Amino acid sequence: MDKATTAKLDSVIAAAIQQTGIPGAIVGIWGPNGTYTSATGVADTATGAPMKADFHSRIGSVTKTFTVTALLQLVDDGKIGLDDPISKYVNGVTDGDRITLRQLAGMRSGLPDYTTSEQFATDYLADPKGGFTPEQLFAYIKDEPLKFTPGTEVDYSNTNTILLGLVVEKVTGDSLPNVIDAKILRPLGMDSTNFPTTNAFPEPHAQGYTNQTKDGTIAVATDWNPSWGWAAGAMISTLDDLRIWAPALAKGDLLHADTQQQRLQTVALTEGQEDAGYGLGLFNIEGWIGHNGSLPGYKSVAVYLPERDLTMVVLVNSDVEGDNTDLAGALVTPITEVISPDHIYG
């Protein structure tokens, strides 16, 4: 990109690192006016090792975009219907005969989020490196009532995507990681992206820092097992691979045009807030299409702005909660104020 824009972006990222306490950030922007990539701050607060642009990162809920894409590919193959009830594929879901796959993908099922269960939090923090099965995750809320009538509200719940992952496995007869690898990652050449089934973490990567601990102190979460997020949040990727994924997701490269059109139909996250909505496994925020992610130690945003043909990926190695550490507010919003002032992500 031109020197003036590059200087502004350098300043924004440096200020975010200095003011928020985020250890390090990896940023990539690609568009008609050029490319910008930056690795700022440290990958390891103990050694001072620098952050580098080729590091692998845990991407949290960006995983949802892959799971729902795999589901929609089954729609295109005629193997499932978006308006099928979840009870057709998974037993034991409260009111499962009136919750559809479309409602699950669009966060409109009314099912509570298992991650808000006190028992889940207790079990997870007791052994962060231990593993969960999808069935164990669902069991935390299996007998709880719906929060609202399916289809009437938008309420972000990881439970929805866990159930969709189980649908993909039942219909394909294969594991979700295998399906995503064969049907999404390999066709797009995303060789540095994977869906781990353990706490394994490809090198190179930054250390990740979190205060999601028993006593709220900051801990190194690099090797914590992401299986608790499974279809909703377990995947690992890189800047270069997410550069491929964000536009492919927004354009529907792997789906039929009609299916993609349905995917992009968003419902406002808050009544009257038409500039931010959720579609089928993706957000549209001021025209930026994609997803954000957060899990202990890492946060991410991977989005594409069709109107400007702009791709933006931001990865940081901390999810420490604080007054000024929100990734969108600290980094993504000010970045878009520079590169797309008419489409500010926030």
CATH of 3-339, one of 3.90.1150.10, 1.10.1060.10, 2.60.120.200, 3.40.710.10: 3.40.710.10
Convert the pLDDT of each residue in 105-134 to its tens digit. 999 999 999 999 999 999 999 999 999 999
Which percentage of the chain shows pLDDT scores above 90? 93
Mean pLDDT score, 49-77: 98
Convert the pLDDT of each residue in 274-315 to its tens digit. 789 999 999 999 999 999 999 999 999 999 999 999 999 999
Convert the pLDDT of each residue in 37-54 to its tens digit. 999 999 999 999 999 999
Mean pLDDT score, 174-195: 98
Mean pLDDT score, 331-343: 96
SS3 309: coil
Positions annotated as catalytic residues are: 61
Query: DSSP states of 211-234 as a string?
Result: --SSSS--EE-TT--GGGTHHHH-
Mean pLDDT score, 252-281: 93
Q: Does pLDDT of 324 surpass 90?
A: no
> Are the beta carbons of 259 and 252 closer than 8 angstroms?
yes
Instruction: Look over the chain and give the mean of its residue pLDDT values, rounded to a whole number.
Output: 96
Q: Does pLDDT of 325 surpass 80?
A: no
Domain residue spans of the chain = 3-339
Nearest to 304 by CA among 265, 262, 343, 269: 343
Q: Global pTM?
A: 0.98
Can the peptide bond before residue 23 be classed as cis, meaning omega within 30 degrees of 0? no
